[in-house]
Amino acid sequence: MIKRTLVIIVIIFNSCDNSKLKSENIFRYNEYSNISSLDPAFSSTLRNIWPCNQIFNGLVRMDNNLNVVPDIAENWIVSADKKTYNFKIRNDIYFHESEYFENGQSRHVNAYDFEYSFNRLIDSDVASPGSWVMNNVDRFEAINDSIFQIHLYNEFNSFLEILTMKYCSVVPKEVVQSLGNSFSKNPIGTGPFKFKRWDDNIKLVLVKNENYHEFDQSGNRLPYLDAISTRFIPDKKSEFMEFLSGNLDFISSPENTIVDQIFNVDGNLNENLKDKFSLSKSPYLNTEYIGFNTSTNLKKDILLRKAINYAIDREKMMKFLRKNIGYPALSGLVPNGLNNEFYSNRYFKNTELAKKYLKEYKKVNDLKNISLVLTTDAQYLDILEFIQSELKSLDIDLKINITPPSILRQGKATGKFNVFRASWIADYANPENYFSLFYSKNQTPYGPNYTFFKNKEYDKLYIQTLSLKDKDQLNKIYEKLEEIINYYSPIIPLYYDMSVQIKQKNIFGLKNNPLNILDLKTVYKKK
């Protein structure tokens, strides 16, 4: 009789738990590429950044207008030489509940938590891919519970922007040390949502943090949602069907193979969808490009790369293949949203100029036929087939080598591929972040310079951007850097991406932002 009673209790408990998850106030989305870690030290991709953004906070954060605003730091003071930052830590912020705290519940966040979190970020045993954010940091320390101090080696304009990255989130020492590597699947943070459960390859559930420190303008405590349910459907087409069936609340940036089903030629929802769903779009700080390994052929193949640059009709490509979901990369490396003040069209299709460069290249190198192999993953095949067709008109034979994303990433990092498809999503909202791709000291594996580009004039100008304050002078340098990239053409810019959100009609408060970060603390659902 006792055993039967226990079974009944368990069934009732599980039924209550499931009913909560079926509540009308659960936000449901899919992560088709899965999530590898909920530890902010490993938040290197959007698939990890999105959930980490709900669970964790840092000293500062970036708002939707790309302004750095306070988060756990109430305010900060910067020294006259711009090398020392003093952050005052708020005294009303608590970690999520955990059995590993001394009282078995929670505790205040203090400056020593940031000292621990930053030391962990640069710990070689942790091996965080975000350790580079501390490259210009000489030292840091908690002066007391309330003051966290950071000293830089050199003045760095983008330092506050870097601190907005999820890598720089605060984590509790006693919980991390107790859980070890399993912290990545049992995270404790300070954010608007806290961890509930993670079923591998099935679902991640986060629930409302009832003690979150932010309030709306009317004095209501955030967040509004009761929970977030993230599924792991690996196929974008299946994800779209689930959305159409009402089982997901939004989808983001549909892949190329299904854009015809969703958008008309102007990039708006098709007639059969526009009354059922809501669409919002905005510039996204992501540049898609073709890269070249220039370690041995920077000058030798410059004419070939320039010919390819002028052979591609980017506007036609965006209109017919992307339904104008994005912007043709006409100005260079830096995308819309950051390049407005030094914008200059460089990459309009110019067939005659392309033929001129190619003819000269063949003559100089005594060539009759030109064949290239471009390595990519399957997601961008239609774009590259379009480029293949464009180059065929110049008698350039472009072969497309499709490989898994992991192999593509590894090949770029090791210089294995001579020509490859790539993209750069801004780590922080500053043009300098894009120009770091061609700084010689950032050559892979020490940084993101996958083209192995090296140029003394470029390096000299780039270093100036790190501390120069005058905006007009900065824009002039940015323009010069773009001109150098254009001249040597270590990359072929293709298009600037767009943040796209397709939502169920009952979803409100979900906003696009240039970094395409999912922020759900002000989202609510109407019945």
pLDDT band for 23, please (50, 70, 90 cuts): low
In angstroms, the CA 216 to CA 220 distance is 5
Supply the DSSP symbol for 436.
G
pLDDT at residue 340 greater than cutoff 90:
no
Q: What are phi and psi of 23, to 5 degrees?
A: -60, 155
Handedness of CA 273, 274, 275, 280 (dihedral sign): positive
Give the residue range(s) of CATH 3.90.76.10 domains in the chain.
Answer: 37-194
The whole-number pLDDT of residue 5 equals: 39
The answer to whether 452 and 415 are in contact (CB under 8 A) is: yes
SS3 of 46-106:
HHHHHHHHHHCCCCEEECCCCCEEECCEEEEEECCCCCEEEEEECCCCECCCCCCCCCCCC
In angstroms, the CA 454 to CA 444 distance is 12
Chain centroid, CA 104 distance in Å: 35
Q: What is the DSSP string of 134-178?
A: GTTEEEEEESSSSEEEEEESS--TTHHHHHTSGGG----HHHHHH
Mean pLDDT (the chain) is: 92
Span of 152-161, 248-257, 374-383, 419-428 with lowest mean pLDDT? 248-257
Burial 37-60 (b: 16+ CB within 10 A, else e): bbbbbbbbebbbbbbbbbbbbbbb
Predicted confidence (pLDDT) per residue in 123-146, tens digit: 999 999 999 999 999 999 999 999
Joined together, the tokens standing for residue 33 give 């590429």
The answer to whether 432 and 466 are in contact (CB under 8 A) is: yes
The whole-number pLDDT of residue 18 equals: 42
Q: How many residues does the chain have?
A: 527
pLDDT at residue 363 greater than cutoff 70:
yes
Give the residue range(s) of CATH 3.10.105.10 domains in the chain.
Answer: 283-499
Q: What are phi and psi of 256, to 5 degrees?
A: -60, -30
Report the percent of the chain where pLDDT is more than 70.
Answer: 96
Joined together, the tokens standing for residue 277 give 């769903």
The CATH topology of domain 283-499 is: Dipeptide-binding Protein; domain 3 (3.10.105)
Chain centroid, CA 390 distance in Å: 30
The answer to whether 413 and 450 are in contact (CB under 8 A) is: yes
The answer to whether 291 and 409 are in contact (CB under 8 A) is: no
Span of 19-33, 43-57, 440-454 with lowest mean pLDDT? 19-33
The answer to whether 216 and 522 are in contact (CB under 8 A) is: yes
The answer to whether 520 and 228 are in contact (CB under 8 A) is: yes
Pairing of strands 227-231, 26-30: parallel
Q: Is 201 left (phi over 0), alpha (psi -120 to 50) or beta?
A: left
Q: What are phi and psi of 296, to 5 degrees?
A: -120, -10
In angstroms, the CA 347 to CA 350 distance is 8
Q: Which CATH architecture has domain 37-194?
A: Alpha-Beta Complex (3.90)
The answer to whether 157 and 465 are in contact (CB under 8 A) is: yes
Burial 216-254 (b: 16+ CB within 10 A, else e): eeeeeebbbbbbbbbbbbeebeebbebbeeeebbbbbbb
Which residues make Cβ contacts (< 8 Å) with residue 495, sequence separation at least 6?
Answer: 287, 288, 314, 317, 318, 322, 326, 327, 328, 329
pLDDT band for 1, please (50, 70, 90 cuts): very low
The whole-number pLDDT of residue 6 equals: 38
The whole-number pLDDT of residue 406 equals: 84
Span of 94-103, 178-187, 330-339, 468-477 with lowest mean pLDDT? 330-339
pLDDT at residue 11 greater than cutoff 80:
no
* 236 compared with 392, residue with greater pLDDT: 392
